[in-house]
Amino acid sequence: MILFIMVVSPPFYYLIRIYASTHENHPLSIPLTTSENHILSADRKPERLYAEVVVNIPLNKVFHYTIPQNLKDHLTAGMRVKIPFGGKIITGFCVGFTNISFPYPLKDIITVVDKAPLTNDIMLKLTRWLSSHYYCGWGEAIHAVVPPVIRSKTKDQWTAFVKKSDCISEIDHNKLLSIRTRAPKQARALEILLESSGEIPVKELIRISGCTKQGLLQLERKGFLIIENKLSNSRGPSVHNRPIQQHLTFTEEQHLAFKRIHERLKEAKPGVVLLHGITGSGKTEIYLQTITKIIEQGRKVIFLVPEISLTSQTIQRIRARFSRTAVLHSHLLESYYHSQWNDVKENKIDIVLGARSSVFCPLKNVGLIIIDEEHENTYKQENTPRYHARDIAVRRAAEENALVLLGTATPALESYYSATQGVYERLVLSKRIGECQLPRIEIVDMREEVRKRRGYHIISQRLEYSMNQALAKNEQIILFLNRRGFAPYIHCKRCGFVLKCQQCDIPMTLHKNPNIVLCHYCHAEVFPPEFCPDCLDGHLNYRGFGTEKIEDVIAARFPHRKVARMDSDSMRRRNAHEKILMAFERREIDILIGTQMIAKGLDFPNVTLVGVISADTMLNIPDFRASERTFQLIAQVAGRAGRGSKGGCVIVQSFTPKHYSITYAAAHDYEGFAKKELEYRKQLNYPPFRKLARIVFRSPKEDNVREKALTVADTLKGFAQTSGDLEILGPSPAPLMKINTLFRWHLFLRSESYTSIHNALYGIENMLKPSKSVQAMVDVDPYMML
């Protein structure tokens, strides 16, 4: 082992590198430092003797390889390479070069995989910071940044599309009436084509019109339409085709907010603006007109949304104003995703719209990053690397001298607190557009409901009465319940048996379509038992309710109304979100039932009633953010009502009607809730007043996981004694103690600064290495406590 000490200036600090052989038993590795100078530009080619390579493993190490002469002119940072590693041939990412000599022989790179770099210098710096802050391997970070479809070869996929022929515009009312008499579904297909300004996928037209493929072929033979096969990557997901729209006129509040954002853009400095606007206050219009200013400056925009279900309406609004727009999310066809990614990389795109991973897109010259509904926990990734898109956006904006615009009606308390401390700038929109008012929110005390009706009913009398009133006026209704399935657990009345997952020790949920009992954590499936496995009694009770049961109840009470359900069970097919939202917009659905995917970002003026079936589902979760999430969900789902001239009403059913998160949400009082919740957080030393990291230990054997957790905790408490501001909470069994055959314990690190947490984590790095007996998972800034 040889030690090299290098003095770097300015600033003056020592960068210590420990080198070892790349032999299988002595891997040459470099512990990562925080220095950004380690990443060399792809343009730096003189004396590139050795390549610095990272691999997709949970070790924060850089490995060195010699570059064969035939590869020296081709290899640049950001490309993948084939390398010998641990007796195998694997793929790694070249992240830089060095000309420092080594006393040990190094192995050669075998080949270069890519013709062009998959990541640029900014992404290499960003992923390096990500790996350091979120405690994961640099290779793991890069692996997450470059989507799987980009790392693999994609075959062309063909799709059939329908478009109008020249003669269809000449069809008169009598002709259409004649077709409707003989073939009503063919007539419906023609009507849809006449309403559309572009082409429609054959499968979608069949679904909407009910016309068969043979029926469409008959219409083609008669000259009414044309069916063509096209490469799927030639177009994106289906959206409404609408003419290019002009910008709308601002209200006074919108104008003042936009003016201030424009001033920040002209300053050409990185920063963060929190646009805190109530639901329906016109935040999207401010986004769109701000995008116009950015494009006029010759710069680009990244627009993040929390859910794929939100992209349909958002795509419509953006593409109604801007043509050079790309959409990136995991539900796209691989060929289309690949095509969009290449367009972004080749500078053919001005705006990239997508979910959290789009923050890493290869867009150049980014001037603005918009994060809509910034409070959503879906911006936090729950597998390695466990990054938060908001923090990545702020870091990328600093690298690219860009502005981050956070928009929400219910800011995350971390963002709100940063605004109160002057770290972010907060702009407030307190009024809805036009004459629209925030909906009236009524709280139904379900305890009193049970007493009066001598039993529990899922739909209260007040909610049922309001539903009848709304439907009588042909208005639409949204019912919200943040629990999917039919019945959350199966219970034996005689002996008390509860059917649990054998792999997770968690109650299993009954799903009626298909008729299975499912574990929502490991996805194990069994058929519903006919009798109790313990006492063999046949009186099993299906307790609780989910969205499936709500759908059954509502369909039975309103048999002549169209009811639809929107949750992760019913939305598994590609474009399923778009199709149901399009049908709801066309008023083909009267009552929409769903989980939190319907609670945000949707704008339907004919929705006048929203019912929150149970406001208590989040409150009893052992998580310090439970009250915040309850407030946000109620406020957000309430915001779907009354967005048109008809006004709106929200009925909230609760067994804890006096809880402050519910009462403040009913009063539309975010400031009051934030003040009270921040007081509790400060007393308990929780974020945003302290930084937090969580370590979860997992093992098939409970004794092993307990012993490992206790050993690591003892070592960390030794660090805490010398650190001063570091606290160790735990260890203890995790709330969900067993998932997918693995027992789970966890502990928390809490400190005033990230530095103390990072120092402690890297101080026990060897103890956290993966092993066959116990796995350790580190989550910095955790959002899930289960």
Q: Tell me the C-alpha distance between 522 and 542, whole Å.
A: 21
pLDDT tens, position by position, 253-299: 999 999 999 999 998 899 999 999 998 888 999 999 999 999 999 99
Sign of CA dihedral 178, 184, 188, 193: negative
Kind and range of the H or E run holding 150: helix 148-151
pLDDT tens, position by position, 636-666: 888 888 777 788 899 999 999 999 999 999 9
- Please state, in angstroms and as integers, the Cα–Cα distance from residue 357 to each residue in 132, 329, 779, following that order: 18, 8, 18
Residue 739, strand partner residues: 742
Q: Which of 172-186, 211-225, 678-692 has the lowest mean pLDDT?
A: 172-186
Q: Inform me whether the pLDDT recorded for 35 exceeds 50.
A: no
Q: Inform me whether the pLDDT recorded for 356 exceeds 80.
A: yes
Higher pLDDT, 194 or 745: 745
Q: What is the mean pLDDT of residues 363-377?
A: 94
Residue 15: band (very low, low, confident or very high) from pLDDT cuts 50, 70, 90: very low
Token code pair at residue 639: 């915001």
Q: Tell me the C-alpha distance between 407 and 310, whole Å.
A: 14
Higher pLDDT, 708 or 238: 708
Q: What is the mean pLDDT of residues 384-394?
A: 95
Q: Inform me whether the pLDDT recorded for 199 exceeds 80.
A: no
Query: DSSP letters of 69-84?
Result: GGGTTT--TT-EEEEE
Q: What is the pLDDT of residue 141?
A: 94
Residue 174: band (very low, low, confident or very high) from pLDDT cuts 50, 70, 90: low
Q: What is the mean pLDDT of residues 589-599?
A: 87
Q: Are 389 and 379 in contact (CB under 8 A)?
A: yes
Q: Name which of 424, 514, 395, 494 is nearest 129 in CA terms.
A: 395
Kind and range of the H or E run holding 602: none
Residue 392: band (very low, low, confident or very high) from pLDDT cuts 50, 70, 90: very high
Residue 696, strand partner residues: 746, 777
Q: Name which of 132, 121, 218 is nearest 179 in CA terms.
A: 218
Token code pair at residue 638: 């309430």
Q: Name which of 138, 308, 142, 342 is nearest 234 in CA terms.
A: 342
Q: What is the mean pLDDT of residues 690-712?
A: 95
Q: What is the pLDDT of residue 168?
A: 64
What mean pLDDT value characterizes the chain?
A: 85
Q: Inform me whether the pLDDT recorded for 616 exceeds 60.
A: yes
Q: What is the mean pLDDT of residues 753-770?
A: 92
- Residue in the structure block whose two tokens are 């729209």: 245
Q: Inform me whether the pLDDT recorded for 476 exceeds 70.
A: yes
Q: Which of 51-55, 215-219, 467-471 has the lowest mean pLDDT?
A: 215-219
Q: Are 500 and 519 in contact (CB under 8 A)?
A: no
Q: What is the pLDDT of residue 573?
A: 65
Q: CA 387, 389, 391, 397: dihedral to nearest 10 degrees? A: 130
Q: Are 483 and 617 in contact (CB under 8 A)?
A: yes
Residue 46: band (very low, low, confident or very high) from pLDDT cuts 50, 70, 90: very low
237-255 burial: b if 16+ Cβ within 10 Å, else e: bbbbeeeeeeeeebbebbe
Q: Inform me whether the pLDDT recorded for 6 exceeds 50.
A: no
Angle between helices 283-296 and 311-319 (to 10 degrees): 50
Q: What is the mean pLDDT of residues 181-187?
A: 79
412-427 burial: b if 16+ Cβ within 10 Å, else e: bbbbbbbbeeeebbbb
Token code pair at residue 675: 């003040």
Kind and range of the H or E run holding 586: none
pLDDT tens, position by position, 420-436: 999 999 999 999 888 78
Q: Tell me the C-alpha distance between 14 and 2, whole Å.
A: 16
Token code pair at residue 744: 């789970």
Q: Inform me whether the pLDDT recorded for 329 exceeds 60.
A: yes
pLDDT tens, position by position, 520-554: 888 888 888 888 888 887 778 888 888 999 999 99
Q: Which residues contact 539 (CB under 8 A, 6 or more apart)?
A: 492, 493, 494, 532
Q: Tell me the C-alpha distance between 426 and 274, whole Å.
A: 5
Q: Are 79 and 113 in contact (CB under 8 A)?
A: yes
Q: Tell me the C-alpha distance between 93 and 127, whole Å.
A: 12
- Please state, in angstroms and as integers, the Cα–Cα distance from residue 554 to each residue in 447, 456, 477, following that order: 22, 16, 11
Q: Are 503 and 520 in contact (CB under 8 A)?
A: no
- Residue 440 — φ and ψ, nearest 5°? -75, 135
Q: What is the pLDDT of residue 16?
A: 29
- Residue 762 — φ and ψ, nearest 5°? -75, -20
Percent of the chain with pLDDT over 70: 87
- Please state, in angstroms and as integers, the Cα–Cα distance from residue 220 to each residue in 192, 202, 215, following that order: 15, 12, 9
- Residue in the structure block whose two tokens are 């539900």: 331
- Residue in the structure block whose two tokens are 């008012």: 437
Q: What is the pLDDT of residue 23?
A: 33
Task: Calculate the CA 595 to chain-centre distance.
Answer: 15
Q: Inform me whether the pLDDT recorded for 590 exceeds 80.
A: yes
**Which phi-psi region, left, alpha or beta, contains residue 536 (left: φ > 0; alpha: ψ -120 to 50)?**
left
Cβ atoms within 10 Å, residue 584:
23
- Residue in the structure block whose two tokens are 């004459």: 435
- Residue 80 — φ and ψ, nearest 5°? -90, 150
